[in-house]
Amino acid sequence: MIGLLRMFRSGILETFAPNITFGFKHKELMSDLINNFNKNSIQNNCAKLCDKISSNITGYLTSNNDSIELLTSMFAKEFRGNNKFAHLRDFFILIPTLMIVQIEYISKCRARLSNKKMSLNEDLAVAGSFNEQFIFVEDGFSIGIAYVLTLLNQQFFFNSLNWFDSVFNKIHSEVIKCKNEQKLALKAKDESLARLLALKQSQLNEQLEEFKRLMYSLNSALTFLQANEVCDENIEETYLDDF
């Protein structure tokens, strides 16, 4: 969507840029030129309209129009005050579940990429090539969540859930529990159980890192989208009255 807006803006600039140079190279107003030679009211009105159009086009070309701000402000007016979107008033409650699914998906993608990397490295080693490095990056989910939260003005409600703090506390407690159980397993000389607990600790640490990356990405996206006001503060958010 952002790319589409930028494409439209580039097309508008290319189409209208030559038009504003017609007759205004010396910054002369059409209305002033008409007044010097003709006092006809119709021609004066046309000249004033021409000056207004030229001024609007010039202002649009010279202003710093932010595509992100345009994308958020236009949709926020509809999403925040229209009863058609009342079903989205509890959207922030769904985010924890969506994040869990996203973390599971990302973990599977990383594991799949790691397997492909190992296979490719073996082929490269046979061919005498160097060890190739792979990095998996996915921030579309965070940007999407931040965008919807910004449209619905629900960042406060999501923050009130203290979701990330709860996740971090839960994972830390699970890691401590696994370490204690692993110590007991080693004392009992149960090596298979100790290996399973060590594997579980590794998985928990990976989940912790994934949630941290997701938190940083989401906070960055929210900061990026909320750098400017997305719409008028006087808009009545009818479907948030229950909170």
Residue 95 half-sphere exposure toward CB, CA atoms < 13 A: 29
Mean residue pLDDT across the chain: 77
DSSP 63: S
Residue 119's pLDDT is 65
Residue 143's pLDDT is 87
Contact 218, 145 (CB under 8 A): yes
Residue 185's CB is within 10 A of a number of other CB atoms, namely 18
Q: Which ranges of the chain would DSSP assign to H, the alpha helix?
A: 2-16, 30-37, 41-62, 67-81, 91-127, 140-152, 155-159, 163-187, 191-225
Q: Which of 138, 169, 159, 165 lies closest to 222 in space, CA to CA?
A: 159
Instruction: Please indicate, yes or no, whether the overall pTM of this predicted structure exceeds 0.75.
Output: no
Residue 44's pLDDT is 76
Q: Where are the domains of the chain?
A: 2-65, 79-240
Which stretches of the chain drop beneath a pLDDT of 50? Answer: 126-128, 130, 238-239, 241, 243
Q: What is the pLDDT of residues 207-222, one digit of tens each?
A: 999 999 999 999 988 8
Residue 170's pLDDT is 95
